[in-house]
Amino acid sequence: MTRAWVRAALLAATPLWACAQGLDFSPAERRSIGAHGPWPVVAAPDTSNRLERDPAAITLGRRLFFDPALSGNGQIACASCHRPAQAFQDGRSTAIGLGPGVRNTQSVLDLAGQRWFGWDGGSDSLWAASLRPLLNPAEMGSSAAQVAARVRHEPLLAGASDEATLANVAKALAAYQATLVSPRTAFDDFRDALARGDAPAAARYPLAAQRGLQLFVGRGRCGFCHAGPRFSNGEFADIGVPFFVAGGVDAGRHAGLRVLQASPFNRLGPHADDGGAGAVATRHVRQEHRQFGEFKVPTLRGLRQTAPYFHDGSAATLAAVLRHYSDLNEERLHADGERILVPLKLSAQETADLLAFLDTLSP
């Protein structure tokens, strides 16, 4: 048996992946990785918003997004906190006016097609979510009458009442925001290459990121909550971040449901354009004790541009986020329901690899 024949036999027995200087992902790992794409997703239309796909409404919504005249003092626009140059976030640990002054500003990228909006899920549509800062006295501090007066010259937005006009303004804002999609990333190129069996293309993905991804879909079990192409299941969880604030608590999802159900702008209300046909989740969701202190699972896309992290902005860096999960205080978690989170006890190498992977989720 010649040495060349032995080398050829060894190569034939070696997975193509290993030949291309990459990890040999198992079939189960490949399925998990594949479930995080493709990107971008094609979002289902929001049937409660007749303006969502209207080009004129999108153009008008973009103008309104940058218009400070919608605010009570004429000085604050949506873009004041959702800054395009910062992935439509503001870089602050906590945003002015969100809850009792303790919540981090969320990016408005990749919101089309989601079911709940805000850290507490207090809105069930993107247009209803756009209303909350408009009317919040601590944020834009406006009113239905002021907003209606501002847009009375726009036939597309005219309603039978100031409240109806306000809802139409929110729908135009949502139509614009629904077009905001984060760019593809190095992870997306790797995921697609892996899916089509293109080992040379996949091998361009850094080995450290591959190791971090393997930990993410494996022992870390991160994909249970950070699922799908958006790296979020869109639901709510208690991850052990304290919710006590000055003067009380931030009840998170528990309080958000109370806001949602009382709102005249929810998808069961008179301003939904589909007569409530698309409001199945809103109709059936109920407050439960376990929701106290739960907050929406955020996307992991664009992490590099959206520091600080967690609902209260208490983690300044991604390294701090990983330390939280590595040293998780299990006694702080809810005792009821399915237990998913456990302390990961990450080594220095595992931490570095996870950071390398998470970095590839940003453009």
Check residue 96 and give its pLDDT. 78
Residue 100, pLDDT > 90, answer no
- The arithmetic mean of pLDDT across residues 5-18, rounded, is 41
State residue 332's pLDDT score: 84
Query: Is residue 173 scored above 70 in pLDDT?
Result: yes
Calculate mean pLDDT across residues 258-276: 98
Q: Which of 1-15, 262-276, 331-345 has the highest mean pLDDT?
A: 262-276
SS3 state of residue 345 = coil
Q: What is the dotted CATH code of the domain comprising 55-181+245-291? A: 1.10.760.10
pLDDT of residue 248: 85
For the chain, the maximum distance between any two Cα atoms, rounded to a whole number of angstroms, is 89
Instruction: Classify residue 316 as left (phi > 0), alpha (psi -120 to 50) or beta.
Output: alpha
Taking 90 as the threshold, does the pLDDT of residue 97 lie above it? no
Residue 1 confidence (pLDDT) above 50: no
Instruction: Give a three-class secondary structure readout of 216-248.
Output: HHCCCCHHHCCCCCCCCCCCEECCCCCCEECCE
Arithmetic mean of pLDDT, 333-355: 87
Mean of the pLDDT values across residues 15-38?
A: 82
Burial of 200-214, coded b for 16+ CB within 10 Å and e otherwise, reads: eebbebbebbbbbbb
Q: How far apart are CA 188 and CA 171, in angstroms?
A: 31
Which class would CATH give 16-41+183-240+298-359?
mainly alpha
φ, ψ dihedrals at 6, nearest 5°: -60, -45
Percentage of the chain exceeding pLDDT 70: 92
Q: pLDDT, tens digit, for every residue of 272-308?
A: 999 999 999 999 999 998 899 999 999 999 999 999 9
Higher pLDDT, 246 or 230: 230
Identical fold, 16-41+183-240+298-359 and 55-181+245-291: yes
Q: What is the pLDDT of residue 102?
A: 78
% the chain with pLDDT above 90: 84
Residue 106, both tokens: 């969320």
Residue 262: its pLDDT value, please? 97
Structure tokens at 235: 């639901």
Is the pLDDT score of 20 beyond 60?
no
The domain ranges of the chain are 16-41+183-240+298-359, 55-181+245-291
Structure tokens belonging to residue 146: 């002021």
What tens digit of pLDDT does each residue of 156-171 get?
Answer: 999 999 999 999 999 9
* Strand-pair partners of 37: none
